Amino acid sequence: MPNIKPVSDLRNYNDVLRSCQIGEPVFLTKNGRGRYVLLDIQEYEKQQAVIKLLSKLSEAEDAVKTGEEWKSLDDLKKALEV
């Protein structure tokens, strides 16, 4: 079950921070609507790493589709001075 609290609960921020667990975000509402999300720093860093990996995979997939990043064997030998 999601952990949802009004933003006014931040007056007692220690209570809010205690309810923030790894992998379990705390959703803060303002005027009854979702406004902010609190995450454990480890979870945030994990999500950022996943986003970066997915971005690199997308770039690689695009390069394979266009063929722009591919080199011929002769070009590769010249680049490696073989």
Residue 30: pLDDT band (50, 70, 90) is very high
Structural domains in the chain plus CATH codes: 3-39 (3.40.1620.10), 42-80 (no CATH)
**Distance separating alpha carbons of residues 29 and 67, to the nearest angstrom:** 47
β-sheet with 26-30: strand ranges across: 3-6, 26-30, 33-38
Q: For residue range 35-82, list pLDDT tens digits in order.
A: 999 888 888 999 999 999 999 999 888 888 887 677 788 888 888 887
State pTM to two decimals. Answer: 0.62
DSSP for 23-60 reads TB-EEEEETTEEEEEE--HHHHHHHHHHHHHHHHHHHH
